[in-house]
Amino acid sequence: MSVGEPIAAQARPGRGVRIEARELTRRFGSHVALDGVSLTVEPGEAFGLLGANGAGKTTFIRLVAGLLIPSEGHLEVDGISPATSPARVQARIGFVMETSRLYPEQRVRGFLRFIAGARGLSRPEAVRAVEATIERFRLAPVATRLIGNLSKGFQQRVSLAHAFLHDPPLLIVDEPTGGLDPVQQREVQEILRSLRGQRTLILCTHDLNEARKLASRVAVLREGRLIADGLTQDVLGEGAVLELFRGPDEHRV
């Protein structure tokens, strides 16, 4: 990667990226947040990452995004290590966090143009990308409104739109419908469903029904360990699904 190369120019358009983790471990002092996890996400796959609070989901996606460095093991995104080349990997990622980081005093279109410029898009590219993204995420009715005055559903759409502006082949979404009403949940889920097969999608959620609707394959983490990985209907089908999320010493009721 050349010094000063715009981030947008480094992104590779296409049908998604391949993610491979081998014996991936991350420690914080004596606490093992992720313990020897090995899994692969294929290009264009809608992949659900499930687990209770503290299971290691956020640690895993932060490692993928190059925001953390593994304590042990190996991780590659399209053959690139996020630990050694984080900017190259981040150019391929759109990241929607559980808590939206938006500017409530900005208007939707102006905010998206600001993000497009920060991503390194030229002015003509930025204008095209913003208008295409407004259309894709159905933001035209609120494009001139202040973000702070929008409903939570529209704010979540703005979060998705800003992560998608640079046309990333990998989209990571963390609890995308948390706190939304049923209508807003359905609208956001429809948008995410429309991306399946076009991009690699990593979905972190506590909502098993949402995982069933959006993910073709899921993995379940518990106390930092990978305890299930397979087709969604196989992992989240009939049976005592909640047992996957409980530790061996937890009280059953």
**pLDDT tens digits for range 86-126:** 999 999 999 887 666 789 999 999 999 999 998 888 999 99
Write out pLDDT tens, residues 191-249. Answer: 888 877 788 999 998 888 889 999 999 999 999 999 999 999 999 886 667 777 776 55
Cα–Cα dist 63/82, whole Å: 7
pLDDT grade, residue 250 (50/70/90)? low
Per-residue model confidence (pLDDT) at position 10: 39
Per-residue model confidence (pLDDT) at position 127: 93
Cα–Cα dist 153/64, whole Å: 27
Q: Average pLDDT of 137-158?
A: 92
Residue range 15-52+67-92+169-246 forms a domain whose CATH class is alpha beta
User: Residue 1: is its pLDDT beyond 50?
Assistant: no
Q: Average pLDDT of 133-141?
A: 91
pLDDT grade, residue 54 (50/70/90)? confident
For residues 83 and 123, is the Cβ–Cβ distance under 8 A? no
Per-residue model confidence (pLDDT) at position 6: 35
Per-residue model confidence (pLDDT) at position 7: 33
Mean pLDDT of the chain: 86
Q: Average pLDDT of 142-160?
A: 92
Q: What is the DSSP letter of 252?
A: P
For residues 22 and 40, is the Cβ–Cβ distance under 8 A? no
Per-residue model confidence (pLDDT) at position 180: 79
Greater pLDDT, 80 or 191: 80
Per-residue model confidence (pLDDT) at position 9: 34
Per-residue model confidence (pLDDT) at position 4: 34
Helices (H) and strands (E) in the chain, counts: 9, 9
Greater pLDDT, 57 or 253: 57
User: Residue 3: is its pLDDT beyond 60?
Assistant: no
Domain ranges in the chain? 15-52+67-92+169-246, 102-167
Q: Average pLDDT of 135-140?
A: 90
Give the phi and the psi of residue 161 in degrees, each rounded to 5: -65, -45
Per-residue model confidence (pLDDT) at position 64: 96
pLDDT grade, residue 70 (50/70/90)? very high
Give the phi and the psi of residue 77 in degrees, each rounded to 5: -120, 110
Cα–Cα dist 8/116, whole Å: 9
Write out pLDDT tens, residues 167-184. Answer: 899 999 988 887 778 888
Per-residue model confidence (pLDDT) at position 22: 97
For residues 192 and 225, is the Cβ–Cβ distance under 8 A? no
Cα distances (angstroms) measured from residue 39 to each of 18, 19, 98, 158, 244:
11, 8, 23, 31, 17
